[in-house]
Amino acid sequence: MKKLLLLSTLLIVLTSLGQKKSSLPDIFYSCWSASYEENKEGSQEKLYRPCDHQFPMSRFRQSIVFDKNGTCKVLHVGETDAHYYVDCKWTYDKKKKILDINDDKGKVKMKMKLVSVDKQTLKFIFID
């Protein structure tokens, strides 16, 4: 009986050690669209809102869908004005608060500093 209890305890401890706590809140893992109308003039901060937000009409609105597994989809506009999502991967440096979005060849497509995220807003500063 003691061996069973010891094995059960060991299994629970090992399972919890193997789980990584995310440094980003769950609300981050969603679809976000640029709300450029709300960006303050002269500010480097760029505001994104949930994709289902009621935005004014626009020809193109940048959107990014982040998944917990490190993949994302970035909305692009093609040469013929057709909109399509491109599969990418993202990484996050929690110490520097830097988010990199890379294409399928590993080339950085976007680099941004995360300013804040809550239920209604996601704020970035894009880095060249």
Alpha-carbon span 115 to 124, nearest angstrom: 5
Neighbours of 125 (CB within 10 A): 14
Show the tokens assigned to 15: 């399972």
Element (H, E) at 45: strand 45-50
* CATH 1.10.10 matches 23-126: no
Condensed to tens digits (0 to 9), the pLDDT of residues 13-60 reads 333 333 334 589 999 999 999 999 999 999 999 999 999 999 999 989
Report the predicted TM-score, pTM, of the whole model to 2 decimal places: 0.79
Residue that the structure tokens 């239920």 belong to: 119
Among 72, 74, 70, which residue's Cα sits nearest to residue 83? 74
